[in-house]
Structures are given as C-alpha cells and as structure tokens.
Structure 1
C-alpha cells in the first residue's frame, strides 16, 4: 500500500485553499463562540437585578432585594458587611456570593418567562443617558433600581442604574431601562 500523497498542501494553490478553509472555520467558530458565550453568561449569571433602599436620616436603614437566576427574590435588611457595587468596577462573583449568603428568600418570586423577558434587555442597557438629578424630598431616603451586566472577561457584575427615587430622583433615559425600572418598582410593592 502506497503512502497518501499530500503534495497538494505544498503547492501555492493548495496552501491558499487550506488557509481559506481555516479562515472560514475560524470565522464560523468565533461567531458561534460569541453566541455560546452570551448563552453561557446568562446561564452562569447568579443575579440580574437589585432594589435597594437607604436612609440615614433617622438611624441607619438599608434594605432591599436581589433577583437571582431562578427568579427567586432574595431580601436583605441591614446586613452586616454588605458589599456595595462600585459604579465603575462593580462586584466580583465572590463578592456577590458573599452578599447572597446574607439574604433570605422571599415568598414573592418571578416566573422564569418574566425573568427571561427582562434579563434579555440587560445587554441593551447602559449608564450613558440620565435625566438631571431632581431633589424631591428631604430625609425620605433613596431607592435605587439596578440591573447587573456580567462581564465574563472581567469576571465582574457591572451595575446599570435604571432609576433612583426618593430624596433625589434620577432616571435612565433608555426605554428598556425605564420599562425594567417600572417592573422592579411593582415587585418592590409586592415584597414590602
């Protein structure tokens, strides 16, 4: 039996054909990889949303809830050593795990379909366009409505402010952010 002849790889035409095939294969797998990575991020993201109320006017009040990947609402009320997300740097995955350990599950839950509907909007949100801060009250505290984008390459949850109400009101002008903020405000009424 004679050894196969691979001389076509050494010709200029054969090398070009091989490089074209490799380039097409690379282009296809990178495009597919992005889709898989996005799907993987959604599957591995532990927390999608947070609502927080803070008031230091008459003692320290700090409470709120997180919505996890299963639609469970995890509440907190004056937890010790809660790690607040830095607006630019966010939270590491480990920091979120530490925060989740200080929560308790609410009887209110979000259906998987509803969670998927709002979680799908997170990728289109941004921290670019906000209304001007408007002072509304004094000593009433501040409630923030936040979505989290998981940056897989940085291994961090990056906060996106959707809305802030209370003493100083700020609104994210992105329509998806506004819709999501209204939804979270409705959930907050059910939880509290």
Structure 2
C-alpha cells in the first residue's frame, strides 16, 4: 500500500470524526446516565449486533472501569432469557448504523414488556430510522461513508461510534468526579493499575 493511500484513509477517518453532529443531546444523554445509574442505583445496558455490538461491548467495559456500572446484552441472547438482566432504573444504550437492525428493534419492544418506562439512548447513522424514533435521546454519527473499498464493511462507521462512546464516558467521568483513587479500586492489574495507584497517592 502506498503512503498516499494510507494518508487518504487517515484523512477520511479524521474528517468523519470532525463531522460528528454536536448537539445538546449529548448533555441529555449524560444526564440520563448519571440520573439512572448514579442517582437511582441502576446500570447502563449496552447492545448492538455484529461490529456495532463489539463497539457496544467496549463502551460497556470502559464505563464499568470508570465508575459507571455497565453490561453488554447481546440482542439475540436477550430473546433466550438474557433479557432478565434488565431491571427498573436501568438505562439502555443501543448502537446500529442503519437504525433498522431487526434484533435491536425487537429488543426495544421486549424490554418495554419487562420495564415499560425504560429510557433508550441510540447511536445511529440514520436519525430518521425506526430505532431512532424509539429513542429517548438519539446521537447521530453523521453517516460517514465507509473507507472500505466496497463501501460495505463497517470501518469509518465504527470509528465514529467509538468516539461517541468516548464522549459519553469522559463526560460522565467528569460529572461524577471520578478520580485516580476511584480508578485504582477498579483496576488492580497491569500498567494502568500501577499508574493509577501512583497518581492516587498525589490526590
């Protein structure tokens, strides 16, 4: 691969991040997470299919390691009993580039059968989609074109999904005043655990 091809891919990915729509919806989403998880004692439940599901899983683990209890719920497994993880005072974060993912649309319906007033935060490339219409708060990705030469493989779309997840995590950390000491209590192993313990001694 030529260096100019690499530079082109990097530029397209960077532009996609720069063009993520910014709105007050982010503040609303963080307010909901803080209210339901930290004030009401619930948890954040993330979900998605395929590559979007892997992003949802990563977002859940990042939230959990930074003071906001979160779990990934596979939308297909939810239909076979795993929906039982959902309780009152939880809040859900759903990710679908198309906003039409059948398993997620069904998950919304099934969840409301269990917790009728469940709030949903939706990250999607299609703010007019069925899933977006079900959302309490919708966070559009800007629907960037994939850098995949076929225009099909989730590449750029998953990049912006990840960044949106980072925005939610970092904003929530600031809202709850998460510290190095708090981090060290949750992350005992490896370099990051050691570093957080060192920094907590300075707080």
Q: TM-score range by the shorter chain?
A: under 0.3
TM-score (norm 2): 0.25
Higher helix share: 2
Larger-Rg structure: 1
Q: Compute the TM-score of the two structures, normalised by the length of structure 1.
A: 0.26
Which of the two has greater strand per residue? 1
